[in-house]
Amino acid sequence: MYRNDFLFSSHLNYQINAAKPAEDGSDVAGKDITDINLRKCTFEDFSNALLYERGLNPDFSFMDSSLDAVKPSEFVPENTYNFVDLADYAKHTAITIGNMSLFSELQKIASAIESFMKNTAQAANTPSHVIRTFDDYNNFDIKSQPATMEELGSCVIGGGNEGAIKIAATFHESSTGEHPIVSIRFYSINNRVYLTNRDIIGIDNIYKANASLIEAFAYMSYHDYINNHFNYSFDKLLISDSIEIDSLDDMYNKHYDLRIYDKLYA
């Protein structure tokens, strides 16, 4: 598979050039791989961990060169970074600039990260950090964990080829009262399975003037929750016919001005 000259131009200064075919990463040695802490490691270690995970699960079929999109601005090979947060930033920036091909690659990378952490000791032993700027990862700790199984809101939309999709919002494990972070999962009602990927959205990081609908859903679900409502605001937006959602792609391709919501409800 070839993909030519993606230019990932954004306020985060990511860049990807994916003009080479993916290489087989299944021969990456497993020795010491599971000791890698993806929240604090070099890009080389990050790459080795993700290629190792891809070798174990062919569903994570990202290209080797796509990993470059997770590098921060002013990247230094010898420095350690929090690649869990960087991958989330990259994914949501891809949505913002409308590069859905790159977004698809980053979704696979995010799923591989989640799987790697779940299958290694760091999932239990490494404290989570809320999403911050690239130079501020280690300045705070999570003091209390939110209830991650309680739905903040949900809705059902047409999912294109996937049929009807239930979208559900819960708190992410790294969410705090000061810095709320929402996790979005997708459930195929027709196939009765959860889709592989999830979205992780920092409420404070949403660009309200041009929020994607998935960000609007997270934002409205969160505010409904703190105002003791459930499935109120986003459902009201759907019923109003001011937006039309025909597929899951519309949740990323279409946008809404959340300043309108703040003025009316927040």
C-alpha 16/C-alpha 102 separation (Å) is: 9
Task: Tell me the per-residue pLDDT of 168-227, one tens digit each, with 9 for 90 and over.
Answer: 999 988 888 888 999 998 888 888 888 877 889 999 989 989 999 999 999 999 998 888
153's enclosing H/E stretch is: strand 153-158
Question: Rounded to the nearest 10 degrees, how much is the dihedral formed by the CA atoms of 95, 97, 103, 107?
Answer: -40
Residues 145-172 have pLDDT tens digits of 566 678 888 888 876 666 788 899 999 8
Please state the pTM of the whole predicted model. Answer: 0.48
Alpha-carbon distances, residue 152 vs 105, 179, 181, 196, 223 (angstroms): 28, 16, 12, 20, 9
Do 121 and 32 touch, CB atoms closer than 8 A? no
Burial class (CB in 10 A: 0-12, 13-18, 19+), 263: exposed
pLDDT digits (tens, 9 = 90+) for 20-42: 233 343 444 445 788 899 989 99
